Amino acid sequence: MFVIFILTAGFALGYAGAWIVMRYGAWFGTIDTPNSRSSHFQAVPKGAGLGILATMMLSALVLKIPWFVWLPALVISLASFWGADKYIWPVSARLAMHFACSLVFVFFLLYFRQADSAVFLVCLPAMVFIAGTANFFNFMDGIDGIAGITGFLAFVMVAFYARLLGTDMAVPWLSLAIAFSCLGFLCFNFPKAKVFLGDVGSILLGFVFACLIVFLSESFLDFLVMAGFLAPFYFDEIYTMVVRIRDKDVLVKPHRKHIYQLLANEGGIGHWKISLGYGSLQVFVGLAAIWIHSMGLFWLLGFYAFCGVTFAALFIIIRKKVVVSEN
């Protein structure tokens, strides 16, 4: 009965959050008006991630998840709603908030686990990973369905791997609740978006995903396996950053150079096809990583290298076949 409650509540809150924002987005002042960098052509309400935030909070409190997991997530999500969906804070202020919330999580995780002082050296790389993942997820949330599908699959795989590790059921239940909340949101975002997650949802999903895999990892191998559950997002964003650095772009400036954006805008491929394609690739890499992890770190790194080279080749081919808009 408990699992039914968790999954039903997650779906219902994700659905309700999307419906409320769809109906009252104008009143909230969170209408996303398309511009030259957008992949949509009509004004759409954003901020539907509030339903996913409600799911995370309810589940975390019921499951007695440690406060240093849910409190920074709550703060970063609400700050993203206020500082990006409703008003526009400077990028520096938002990044400072992301790193501050990441620091709170990492520091108190190590503190309450009574880690040796030397272990605290991982604070900085862990903060970069968590804040980076939150922003990567946000950057990749640019077409209908892609963030919701990716969020659902990523948190389902986190829950599955957590059970393989034999962890307490609290984190798997939390992951499944968030996954089903993404499904509720998708009712209004896929195949044609009537509402968007907004930063309140995309930053939250990336942040919580990163925090949970740091929380669950018993070894560096575990960390690498679970990071693979978001592989298409990482590959797309990293390669896009390389291209933008090469082109001497301002990295904080909005753009349309991601692979998924090229496929949707210049390539004219339907959003739903691209989103399902990314989801299929995500499942393949994630399940393969779980299977390969028993062979050891060397084989897993080799598999990721193969995936990275393949994705890079596709990136180059796609960029050559489409005309990148610079407007």
How many domains is the chain partitioned into structurally? 1
Does residue 60 belong to any structural domain of this protein? yes
pTM over 0.85: yes
Q: Where are the beta strands (DSSP E) in 100-215?
A: none
Residue 221 lies in a domain: yes
Is residue 178, in this structure, part of any structural domain at all? yes
- Give dist(CA 279, CA 56) in Å, integer: 22
Helices (H) and strands (E) in the chain, counts: 13, 2
Q: Is residue 326 part of a domain?
A: no
Under 8 Å between Cβ of 61 and 46: no
Six token digits for residue 154: 């990523």
Assess if residue 327 is contained within a domain: no
Distances (CA, A) of 100 to 75, 97, 103, 127, 215: 10, 5, 5, 9, 17
Per-residue tens of pLDDT for the chain, all 327 residues: 677 888 999 999 999 999 999 999 888 888 887 766 667 778 899 999 999 999 999 999 999 999 999 999 999 999 999 988 888 889 999 999 999 999 999 999 999 988 787 677 889 999 999 999 999 999 999 899 999 999 999 999 999 999 999 988 999 999 999 999 999 999 999 999 999 999 999 999 999 999 999 999 999 999 999 999 999 999 999 999 999 998 888 877 778 889 999 999 888 899 999 999 999 999 999 999 999 999 999 999 999 999 999 999 999 998 888 755 444
The pair of structure tokens assigned to 259 is 């692979």
d(CA 196, CA 21): 9
Neighbouring CB atoms inside 10 A of 173's CB total 22
Cis peptide before 191 (omega within 30 of 0): yes
- For the record, the structure tokens of 152 come out as 């659902």
Which residues constitute the domain of residue 178?
2-321
Would you tell me the crossing angle of helices 49-62 and 67-80 to the nearest 10 degrees? 160
